[in-house]
A and B are shown apart, each in its own frame.
Chain A
Amino acid sequence: MHPSPSDAAAPSAPPQPKSPRDLFVSFTWLALQGFGGVLAIVQREMVEKKRWLTPEQFLEDWAVAQVMPGPNVVNLALMIGDRYFGLRGAIAAVAGMLAIPLVVILMLAVLYAHYAGNPQVAGALRGMGAVSGGLIAATGIKLIPQLRKHPLGFAACLVFVALVFGAIAVLKIPLGWVLLAVGGVACAWTWRRIAP
């Protein structure tokens, strides 16, 4: 760390959450801002506003959160909470991420059920469903250029992408088998390629 020679006399410690309660409140607030996904908000709040993480820490944590099973942003909250207050912090952060948004979403669902007979409402949801399919597909497409730097080479990666797409979307093979077979081959092959 490089404490900046500012007018503050005492060397300031990096900011950190004050308590598990602070974590709970911070992550609740963060989650409630995240329409259509929370990741961008996590970066803005944790790195830029609260400075609990440096950009480097954020990238490292994000990579791990992404590799682990489970919702990425929840994993990230878990890791940050754990770092400061152990298990209590992890639970507080995850609970903050989920509890209040869960109440909000249930209220929306009940409201929706009440108006589900209305053709405009049903149409609106159908339109949003079509869009959200597009959002997720685009998230995948945007990641394709990252594969150019992959140890297996770009072409082999595209074959893996196509294999997974075909197995899941066209052949409807259960996810577990696809992950075991295609993921297993991809990881083993990568392991051989990155030999020291």
Chain B
Amino acid sequence: MSHITIVMQWHDWLALFGQYLLLSLLSISGAITTVPDMHRYLVAQHGWLTDAQFSSSVAIAQAAPGPNVLFVALMGWNVGLNAGGGIGAGPSAWMLGFLGLMVTMVGIMLPSTTLTYLATRWGHRNRDKRGVRAFKQGMAPVVVGLLIATGWVLAAGNHSGDAPAWHLWLLSAAATLVVWRTRIHLLWLLGAGALLGAIGFV
């Protein structure tokens, strides 16, 4: 993930924070469903991350232990590094990396956890109320659509550069099929993807 150099003013950091505060409230069924919107904001609209940085942030988080939401921290970290001139630029870049990490992580966590904390007892007590059930059930098809769209956007995000695109689509489709149809551990699949990538198939 070769870095790019970007300029971040304080109001840019503020805008980034605001965007993640907003996405936090929109992240029904997990932060992963907001990935397409993060891509739109960080890569397409502002150019703060490259496509490769974006998808490798998600890929590293998927491969690492811990909740998948940590990909958000890596995105912030990479925005900070880009603003600081890349990881080779030394302590100043590292400081900006940590700033980016804090801005995105606190942004994505604070509203949703606060809301969940306040609402869970209420929701638990009122789980038979019509409004609560309508919300839970009404969002179900929306959440399914979001997950599939997220997978699509992530798969498409790998296609920058001169790699033969159909290999990547084939790999994404094969992974979809295997996860859908079998109970194989996800690590094997990620390992297979890494291997196929390393030997130059995709």
Contacts and interface: CB of A to CB of B under 8 A. Distances in A.
Contact of A104 (B24, B65, B179): B65
Give the bracket for the number of chain B residues in contact with chain A: 35 or more
A189 B113 contact: no
B8 interface: no
Given A130-B172, A169-B36, A183 B147 contact: no
B58 A129 contact: yes
Contacts of B56: 112, 125, 129
The binding surface of chain A is classed by DSSP as: helix
Interface string B36-64: 11001000100000001001111111111
Given A101-B70, A108-B64, A160-B141, A194 B133 contact: yes
Contacts of B85: none
Contacts, number: 404
A64 B52 CA distance: 35
A11 B25 CA distance: 44
Contacts of A69: 24-28, 111-112, 115-116
Given A98-B105, A109-B74, A182-B145, 5 more contacts: A35-B65, A98-B70, A125-B59, A160-B142, A183-B142
7 closest A-B pairs (Cβ-Cβ)? A137-B151, A127-B197, A101-B66, A70-B112, A134-B175, A164-B145, A140-B147
18 contacts: A34-B65, A35-B63, A36-B187, A63-B127, A71-B68, A71-B69, A74-B67, A82-B120, A105-B64, A125-B56, A130-B158, A131-B175, A133-B155, A133-B157, A139-B147, A141-B180, A150-B137, A150-B141
